[in-house]
Amino acid sequence: MNMQAGTDQMNAKAEEAEMMTGAEIVLRALQDQGVEHIFGYPGGAVLPIYDEIFQQEKIEHILVRHEQGATHAAEGYARSTGNCGVVLVTSGPGATNAVTGLTDALMDSIPMVCITGQVPTHLIGNDAFQECDTVGITRPCTKHNYLVKNVNDLARILHEAFYVATTGRPGPVVVDIPKDVQFATGTYVKPDNIEHKTYKPRTEGDAMAVEAAVELMANAKRPVFYTGGGVVNSGPGASNLLRQLVRMTGYPITSTLMGLGCYPASDRQWLGMLGMHGTYEANMAMHDCDVMICLGARFDDRITGRTDAFSPGSKKIHVDIDPSSINKTIKVNIPIVGDVGTVMAQMIRAWKARKAKADEAALKEWWAQIEQWRSVDCLKYRANKDVIMPQYAVQRLYELTRDRDTYITTEVGQHQMWAAQFYRFEEPNRWMTSGGLGTMGYGLPAALGVQVAHPESLVIDIAGDASVQMVTQEMSTAVQYNLPFKVFILNNHYMGMVRQWQQLLHGNRLSHSYTDAMPDFVKLAEAYGATGIRCSKPGDLDEAIQKMIDTPGPVIFDCVVANLANCFPMIPSGKAHNEMLLGADISDEEVGSAIGKEGKMLV
Amino acid sequence: MNASQPASAYFLEEKKDPIESHTLSIVVDNEPGVLARVIGLFSGRGYNIESLTVSETEHEAHVSRITIVTSGTAEVLVQIKAQLERMVPVHSVADLTVIGDAIERELALIKVAGQGEHRVEALRLADAFRARVVDVTNNSFVFELTGKVRKVEQFIALMKPLGLQEVVRTGVTAISRGPEAMKI
């Protein structure tokens, strides 16, 4: 070996190895990961990091009012940009308050890195002030987590955290950093060549399986595409490939709540959302199809209804990057593990290579059947001249915002389902909602995060009166950073979905689902320094919505809607896709007897 | 449709598929909390652990081997393997029962106290089972026994009437036959 070259190499290494404090390493690693915004809340155990934030300008910190708000804001930020959301909170209560958002991100596969402060290493395990077992508490609600005990591991772990959070099936990663590690001096390493020893997600689908899938697709008589949030996670390229694949085959397509926007809702081949509150045509097509092509969705119980009656006559293809999603609840015939975008590209190539053609005659018949289901017009509702129907409010909101650069978030409940049914999405990353965990209070902070990422866009949280009260404090953040998102509350004074289930399952005994002391949302907005608007007459709605859009700062819109409207169509628990309750003309008796004994046991 | 049929995903457990017992071998990075992560998966998702052994097996590489005996329907067992494989610090998972005919061994220490005829009989049985005597007093033995679970169980059952005092068992550790080793 050439001694001179060896020494030079070592010198070069020494130059590369930059020494800095743990807190500096955190900021440097975030910069090198391309992070521009972090959402957080300071406290004793993260003060060294906050001190570094103060002394730099590359990364903007958004100060929230509650750590849960930080996590949902990071989720909205991540979901609307495709980048990793970053959260910074302190030890103890800071970390425990972040747990809801971490779990939400895990369930909906949102890339997030959450840095938590921890008490100094020598105090860990001593029941120190603001100590909690953060890695223990967050172990089941993160994709992975780390406790950093040595400052020299910090840079590597941070880069690894971003790698784990954003690749494969994305998810939240917690990095717990004790305060003494933040003060200690150590070596910084750059993010290049970070390769994980064990974690190597597979993106390419098995070629044989893809061939078999394409053959099954080409011979289908009654095919349907069933797509999900995985297509959004795979990036905008995947949505383009999906459009190409769907148009090339001419097959109908439906999507889960999480996948809305991957395929344009204005297209003829679009059947609308499927599942518990999905459209009649989507659910009937799923039930009666002979080939189901599941792309980046996971057969959630809100999709399948009763599993033993789920699409009984079909052969199923399932593309998922997570092998544990395959055959978890529904047995499939052709499983393909891989990135849904990559696999769709493989499918398109294979389809073209074999010059495959859909069975035109069978497809024509299938579409005729679907048109018949469509003609049921399952989303129709009884219009009202005196009170605003919630469906009408979402429809008008859609009509008045559709030509703008708009992002929609929601809370959880009836309003969420009405938004999914009546707001029509043409592009991915425009729709942010809490699907898996169903977190009330997700939408307002998520809108905040979306607005940070897209300062010029119109961002609207379609909210319910109950959900929004879980996170109203973030209006203060909105005003502080002049984030002009709009909170559009469908106010019916009820926890509407809870009440709907009480009507369906519990003899209309409305136990604690009515809010007897509703705040005045207009005054509340004004208290925060935002604008409040109220509307209760259908005739005034358009003008009021326009006023909301034209108002420059954040707005709370109190849309007073019909109190007792319910969300239909609905597959009652324990029923199959072809046993839907349709909305418009349903009687109270039908509602009361819709769910059998077994169904009452379900959630 | 038959109203008594199970409905929806929540009734999956009610399926009458036969329950099988499988031995899984898991190669993991020996980082702090890795065992908690693995057993947390089992408790969090409602899987069974019948036995568990764990120790670092390669010190330089910081790699540990976990052997878990678990039970469930065939579908659940496939799901357990997939869930383990997607954990970040897990190198690889082998279902030794599926691979077939793995060597499974357990070590037990068994304390027996007694006098006279019982004492003689205990020693005679220990000899038959090739258990080693690792501690002796005037009125007691501690036996060390290695073998398949059934052999250990059988020996313990035989010791019961002869003055069995206490038993400690390591749980099953297992390895596949033939030249192939597990991927690290």
Q: Over the stretch A335-347, which tens digit does the pLDDT of each residue have?
A: 999 999 999 999 9
Question: Same structural domain for residues B82 and B24?
Answer: yes
Question: Same structural domain for residues B86 and B148?
Answer: no
Residue-wise burial string across A415-449, b where 16 or more C-beta atoms lie within 10 A, e elsewhere: bbbbbbbbbbbeebbbbbbbbbbbbbbbbbbbbbb
pLDDT in tens, A84-106: 999 999 999 999 999 999 999 99
Q: Following DSSP, what letter does each residue of A243-261 receive, concatenated?
A: HHHHHHHT--EEE-GGGTT
Position B88 in a domain: yes
pLDDT of B8 reads: 45
How far is Cα B122 from Cα B164, in angstroms, rounded to an integer? 10
Find the Cα–Cα–Cα–Cα dihedral A193, A199, A203, A206, rounded to 10°.
Answer: 130
Which residues have C-beta within 8 Å of that of residue B116, sequence separation ≥ 6? none
> Do A272 and A253 meet the contact criterion of CB atoms below 8 Å apart?
no
Name the amino acid, one letter, at A366.
W
Size of interface A-B (CB pairs under 8 A): 79
Position B156 in a domain: yes
pLDDT of A7 over the 60 cut: no
Task: Please tell me which residue of chain B has the smallest CA distance to A161.
Answer: B88
> Do A52 and A76 meet the contact criterion of CB atoms below 8 Å apart?
no
Q: Which is catalytic among the residues A217, A258, A389, A497?
A: A497
Kindly list the distances between the CA atom of residue A100 and the CA atoms of A176, A390, A572, in Å, as whole numbers in the listed order: 17, 28, 27
Residue A129 annotated in active site: yes
How far is Cα A492 from Cα A464, in angstroms, rounded to an integer? 8
Residue among A532, A520, A444, A587 nearest A65 (CA): A444
How far is Cα A166 from Cα A542, in angstroms, rounded to an integer? 41
Position B9 in a domain: no
- Measure CB to CB from residue B86 to each of A147, A322, A576 and give the nearest one: A322
How far is Cα B8 from Cα A275, in angstroms, rounded to an integer? 13
Return the number of other C-beta atoms located less than 10 Å from residue A458's C-beta: 17
Return the number of other C-beta atoms located less than 10 Å from residue B161's C-beta: 11
Position B62 in a domain: yes
Task: Please tell me which residue of chain B has the smallest CA distance to A577.
Answer: B8
Question: Are B85 and A198 an interchain contact pair (Cβ–Cβ within 8 Å)?
Answer: no
Residues of chain B with a CB closer than 8 angstroms to some CB in chain A:
1, 3, 5-12, 29, 32-33, 36-37, 40, 44, 75, 78-79, 82-83, 85-91
The whole-chain average pLDDT of chain A stands at: 94
pLDDT of B55 reads: 95
Question: Same structural domain for residues B24 and B95?
Answer: yes
Position B138 in a domain: yes
Question: Are B88 and A196 an interchain contact pair (Cβ–Cβ within 8 Å)?
Answer: yes
Question: Same structural domain for residues B95 and B107?
Answer: no
pLDDT of A586 over the 80 cut: no
Question: Same structural domain for residues B107 and B36?
Answer: no
pLDDT in tens, A369-380: 999 999 999 999
Q: What is the CATH number of the domain that holds B29?
A: 3.30.70.260
pLDDT of B2 reads: 38
Position B14 in a domain: no
Q: How far is A305 from chain B (nearest CA, A)?
A: 6
Question: Same structural domain for residues B94 and B25?
Answer: yes
Residues of chain A with a CB closer than 8 angstroms to some CB in chain B:
135-136, 139-140, 143-144, 147, 149, 164, 169, 196-199, 301, 304-309, 322-324, 326-329, 331, 573-576, 596, 598-599, 601-603
Question: Same structural domain for residues B92 and B155?
Answer: no
- Measure CB to CB from residue A144 to each of B36, B40, B88 and give the nearest one: B88
Q: What is the CATH number of the domain that holds B144?
A: 3.30.70.1150
Position B148 in a domain: yes
For residue A569, is the peptide bond before it cis, meaning its omega torsion is within 30 degrees of 0?
yes
> Do A234 and A258 meet the contact criterion of CB atoms below 8 Å apart?
no
Residue A130 annotated in active site: yes
Question: Are A601 and B10 an interchain contact pair (Cβ–Cβ within 8 Å)?
Answer: yes
Query: Of the candidates B99, B115, B139, which is a domain's last residue?
Result: B99
pLDDT of A589 reads: 59
Task: Compute the average pLDDT of residues A465-475.
Answer: 97
Residue A427: which pLDDT band, with cuts at 50, 70 and 90? very high
Residue A118 annotated in active site: no
- What residues of B are in contact with residue A322 (Cβ under 8 Å)? 86
Question: In terms of residue numbers, what domain contains B29?
Answer: 20-99
pLDDT of A287 over the 50 cut: yes
pLDDT in tens, A316-325: 999 999 999 9
> Do A120 and A47 meet the contact criterion of CB atoms below 8 Å apart?
no
pLDDT of A195 reads: 77
pLDDT of A244 over the 90 cut: yes
Segments in chain B below pLDDT 50: 1-12
- What residues of B are in contact with residue A326 (Cβ under 8 Å)? 82
Pairing of strands A555-560, A18-21: unpaired
Question: Same structural domain for residues B76 and B49?
Answer: yes
Question: Same structural domain for residues B116 and B152?
Answer: yes
pLDDT of A470 over the 70 cut: yes
Residue A573: which pLDDT band, with cuts at 50, 70 and 90? confident
Question: Same structural domain for residues B72 and B24?
Answer: yes
- For the entire predicted model, the pTM comes to 0.92
- Measure CB to CB from residue B8 to each of A149, A307, A324 and give the nearest one: A307
Question: Are B9 and A326 an interchain contact pair (Cβ–Cβ within 8 Å)?
Answer: no
Q: How far is B178 from chain A (nearest CA, A)?
A: 25
How many domains does chain B contain in total?
2
Residue A570 annotated in active site: no
Position B13 in a domain: no
Residue A475: which pLDDT band, with cuts at 50, 70 and 90? very high
pLDDT of A572 reads: 84
pLDDT in tens, A476-512: 999 999 999 999 999 999 999 999 999 988 889 999 9
Query: Of the candidates B99, B118, B139, which is a domain's last residue?
Result: B99
Question: Same structural domain for residues B26 and B61?
Answer: yes
Residue A145: beta bridge partners?
A174
Q: Which is catalytic among the residues A129, A208, A357, A598?
A: A129
Task: Compute the average pLDDT of residues A108-129.
Answer: 97
pLDDT of A576 over the 90 cut: no
Percentage of chain A exceeding pLDDT 90: 88
- What residues of A are in contact with residue B83 (Cβ under 8 Å)? 324
Residue A289: which pLDDT band, with cuts at 50, 70 and 90? very high
pLDDT in tens, A16-57: 679 999 999 999 999 999 999 999 999 999 999 999 999 999
Task: Please tell me which residue of chain A has the smallest CA distance to B42.
Answer: A140
pLDDT of A105 reads: 98
> How many alpha carbons fall within 13 Å on the CB side of residue A374?
14
Q: Which is catalytic among the residues A179, A315, A316, A486?
A: A179
Residue A194: which pLDDT band, with cuts at 50, 70 and 90? confident
How far is Cα B166 from Cα B141, in angstroms, rounded to an integer? 11
pLDDT of A465 over the 90 cut: yes
Query: Of the candidates B54, B83, B99, which is a domain's last residue?
Result: B99
pLDDT of A239 over the 60 cut: yes
Which residues have C-beta within 8 Å of that of residue A377, sequence separation ≥ 6? none
Percentage of chain A exceeding pLDDT 70: 94
- Measure CB to CB from residue B86 to each of A147, A196, A323 and give the nearest one: A323
pLDDT of A603 over the 80 cut: no
Residue A497 annotated in active site: yes
User: If you search the block for the tokens 């009361």, which residue do you land on?
Assistant: A592
User: If you search the block for the tokens 């940070």, which residue do you land on?
Assistant: A452
Write the ipTM.
0.88
Which of A153, A198, A598 would you mutate first to test chain B, the one with the most B CBs within 10 A? A198
How far is Cα A222 from Cα A290, in angstroms, rounded to an integer? 5
Question: Same structural domain for residues B87 and B131?
Answer: no
